Structure 1
């Protein structure tokens, strides 16, 4: 089983509360979402694995069980064209859980008129493949979010 941990500190709100129908409807997969603390921070890898997709606003890490975990930094942040995001790794890099992937500031995202809410999604998984799903409460970076069979 893959243990997926929080890439950020903040308040867990669950996918249903994400202000985007693709995420709130779990169209890309089940998971949860974090309303991040409002301070400059580094989004870290939620699993050990390989960075298979990397954009300023989102990244996917594929673990040894071929589970792809998407971390999406804010909603509609692709429209910022990378402004305010700093990549700390490269696509194809092997990363460890807790390793910094993207530096960003949720305050700047809000100032640009975007939601800083961050979905953390088990790509192409079924909802019943997840266990211990956290959908509310405060989390620190590295706290458990869900298990994935």
Structure 2
């Protein structure tokens, strides 16, 4: 879905640590238990999953950077260091064609970490029979480059993990 994105990240030596913020409020769980086998296997990259609070909220940017891809259900923000983070709101939510989502930013916008990008309602997603679990993935990252993964409750804007 995002393979044409010019994300220049991955296996390069780096001492820079990027703090990645939780885009939504909820309970953090391991990505490996995400209800999507591609994400759960780490095929998209390492990261975390958040079982969101079942009320309307705003999904925020996990890092400071530029939005290079923006869909109602998913977005990619690339930081100045070239690292890209994917936020995917719910499982199979592309099929909803925007129902339950409202864009608060535009593709190409520069955003600060914690700035709202999409308004959404996880309860609307769940009512369609889909999982509202939010996936947060460090794109093109090595599995061991993501550290300090938080577990348990988070608010949107709390630190979720570090990428270095």
Q: Same fold (TM over 0.5)?
A: yes
Distance in 1 (alpha carbons) for counterparts of 2:43 and 2:125: 24
> Unpaired segments of 5 or more residues in structure 2?
1-16
Counterpart for residue 14 of structure 1: 30
How do 1:13-92 and structure 2 match up within 5 A? 13-92=29-108
In 2, the alpha carbon distance for the partners of 1:148 and 1:64 equals 14
1:93 is aligned to 109
SS in 1 for 2:135: strand
2:130 is the counterpart of 1:145: no
Tell me the C-alpha RMSD between the 2 structures. 0.7
* Cα offset, 1:132, TM superposition: 0.6
TM-score by length of 1: 0.97
Q: Distance in 1 between matches of 2:60 and 2:29?
A: 19
Gaps of 5+ in 1: none
Runs of 4+ in 1 over 6 A off after TM superposition: none
Helix, strand or coil for the counterpart of 2:91?
coil
Distance 2:35 2:147 in 1: 24
In the TM superposition, what is the alpha-carbon distance from 1:147 to its structure 2 partner? 0.8
What CA distance in whole angstroms lies between the structure 2 residues aligned with 1:131 and 1:15?
Answer: 13
Tell me which structure has the larger Cα radius of gyration: 2
Q: What's the TM-score, normalizing by structure 2?
A: 0.89
